[in-house]
Amino acid sequence: MSWLPDDFAHPIRVDLSTGHYLRPIRAADVDIDYPAVMGSQARLWSVFGEVWRWPPPDMSREHDLEDLARHERENEAHESFCYAVLTADGGELKGCVYIDPCEHEDGDCDAQVTWWITDDAVGTDLEAALDELVPRWMAAAWPFGRVRFGV
């Protein structure tokens, strides 16, 4: 059984109260994703490194491009989802939201949802808006009964 209904259409755009928005990430986003990730690499590694081994301090643009292409394929196949958090003009990536099938050892969830923001957005209205939006968005737009938040 799939983790999503066959007729499920994933959201294409979600607006935040700050003027930022979310949309599925694409490989073509590498030029805005790579500086965002590497500019926040140490903090992101402290959150995701132990579990995901990401982002390594020596991650190359090419490695990021491969990751983004994989995310794009997975989005389209409904295997998992990665949404870019973008500025109002779409010119700067400020973070990402990941929605994955639950693989937690106790199996007590349908999906696992994690997100991050760039170092310069920590403590801002963007961080507060994203923290408020994601759980509400999961409940309203996604067909999951039980969502686990965080790594």
The per-residue pLDDT for 108 is: 82
Q: How far is residue 151's CA from residue 146's CA, in Å, rounded to a whole number? A: 15
pLDDT (tens digit, 0 to 9) for every residue of the chain, 151 residues total?
479 999 999 999 999 999 999 999 999 999 999 999 999 999 999 999 988 999 999 999 999 999 999 999 999 999 999 999 999 999 999 999 999 999 766 668 899 999 999 999 999 999 999 999 999 999 999 999 999 998 8
**Cβ-based neighbours of 78, under 8 Å, separated by 6 or more:** 2, 4, 8, 10
Domain coordinates in residue numbering, the chain: 14-149
Sign of the alpha-carbon torsion through 54, 59, 62, 64: positive
Q: How far is residue 14's CA from residue 9's CA, in Å, rounded to a whole number? A: 14
- How many Å separate Cα 78 from the centre of its chain? 14
Q: Is 106:88 a contact under the CB 8 Å cutoff? A: no
The per-residue pLDDT for 101 is: 94
The per-residue pLDDT for 2 is: 73
Q: What φ, ψ does residue 91 adopt, rounded to 5°?
A: -85, -10
Q: Which CATH class is domain 14-149?
A: alpha beta
